[in-house]
Amino acid sequence: MKVASLKKPGGLQNIEIGDRPDPKPGPGEVLMRVKASSLNYHDFVVAQGGIPTPDGRILMSDGAGEVIELGDGVTRFKKGDKVLSTFFPGWRDGPPELDKMLAVPGDRIDGFSAELVAVPAEGLTRMPEGYSFAEAATLPCAALTAWRGLMVERRLQPGEWVLTQGTGGVSIFALQMAKAAGARVISTSSSDEKLKKLTELGADHVINYKDTPKWGAKAKELTGGRGVDKVIEIGGPETMAQSIQACRIGGHIALIGVLTGISGEVPTAALFGANITLSGITVGARQHQEDMIAAIEANGIKPVISDHFPLDKLADAFAHQASQKHFGKIVVDI
């Protein structure tokens, strides 16, 4: 089988395309023919060597494909089923706990940049009805992160205000899910062209944060001075102060990204003074994914796919991701 793996110490130049023996499913596992994966910021950090991995690690956390063989004891799926990976195969349900969150594909264990994978059946879900493999492959990390940020930590209510940042996968899924839930959405970007696309996807208001550096105050103004109910925070330290400014008293910030750095100043007095809840979000459990798939089917949500790359051009896909020219998800067809 063909695989894309990473040589130590990492870097896009150290992604290798090669052949390995076909795996066989062990007890409790299925053999999955992988049809598609998609790029996430986590995958990019791994590929760059920012998260150390063993030499020869097979990359990519997301995978969609078809079950072609069953290991002993598997009853959850049958041959021919269309299946989808989970970001944390060991987190089935309940609250986040360390032992549930260790085996991330493409990081702690081999991932889905391979034509065949043998994986625990309990770490998979079904794909949404009517989805292509490419569409399904966008869901396990980005979409589920948006879902948990909106619907799990503090459930979004119809009529509430949501603020999203940028035009990456999580932010676009958050926009789509918020509108499906009957919420109003303010979206930010530094590109007027991308802001136009966000409006076409349903954003009620858009803000160019380069033109309006104090976009937190602008967002609050757009809500009539009340403030937004929820922020999908992807920037981290350099955007947190504006997110706090944008929030209403008692609002919620779902911190899901650190694109501007891993540490920095937080205006703590403003945070507690406004009684804002700040929740760290790292994807979610299998049950969350199953709930999200049901909601996706009920609302007819389809992912926004920006670009497709073949497996042997995985390094080019990461370079395109780094250029930030994409709008939505980048898919790897396998």
**pLDDT tens profile 14-64:** 999 999 999 999 999 999 999 999 999 999 999 999 999 999 999 999 999
Query: Under a CB-based contact definition with an 8 Å cutoff, are residues 334 and 312 in contact?
Result: no
Could you tell me where in the chain the CATH 3.40.50.720 domains are found? Answer: 154-280
Look up residue 105 and give its DSSP letter: B
pLDDT at 323: 93
At the fourth CATH level, the homologous superfamily of domain 2-141+284-333 is Medium-chain alcohol dehydrogenases, catalytic domain (3.90.180.10)
pLDDT at 263: 83
pLDDT at 96: 95
- Output the DSSP codes for 256-294: ---TT-S-----HHHHHHTT-EEEE-----HHHHHHHHH
Categorize the per-residue pLDDT at 130 as very low, low, confident or very high, splitting at 50, 70 and 90.
very high
* Per-residue pLDDT reduced to its tens digit, 136-194: 999 999 999 999 999 999 999 999 999 999 999 999 999 999 999 999 999 999 999 99
To 10 degrees, what angle do helices 169-180 and 192-201 make? 30
* Residue 114, both tokens: 């391979």
For 99-113, 251-265, 281-295, which range has the lowest pLDDT when averaged over its residues?
A: 251-265
Among 222, 156, 151, 160, residue whose Cα is nearest residue 188 = 222
* Residue 296, both tokens: 């996706």
User: Would you say residue 127 has pLDDT above 80?
Assistant: yes
pLDDT at 126: 98
Categorize the per-residue pLDDT at 264 as very low, low, confident or very high, splitting at 50, 70 and 90.
confident
Residue 307's SS3 state is strand
Share of the chain above pLDDT 90, in %: 94
- DSSP collapsed to 3 states, 189-212: ECCHHHHHHHHHHCCCEEEECCCC
User: Would you say residue 261 has pLDDT above 80?
Assistant: no
Mean of the pLDDT values across residues 285-312? 97
pLDDT at 259: 76
154-280 to CATH, choices 1.10.150.20, 3.30.70.580, 3.40.50.2000, 3.40.50.720: 3.40.50.720
Could you tell me where in the chain the CATH 3.90.180.10 domains are found? Answer: 2-141+284-333
Phi, psi of 266 (to 5 degrees): -125, 130
pLDDT at 2: 98
Q: Which amino acid, 17?
A: I
Cα→Cα distances 104→17, 87, 257, 284, Å:
21, 6, 17, 12
Instruction: List helix spans (H) across the chain.
Output: 41-47, 133-136, 144-147, 169-180, 192-201, 215-222, 237-246, 268-273, 286-299, 314-323
Residue-level length of the chain? 334
Categorize the per-residue pLDDT at 3 as very low, low, confident or very high, splitting at 50, 70 and 90.
very high
pLDDT at 69: 98
User: Would you say residue 307 has pLDDT above 80?
Assistant: yes
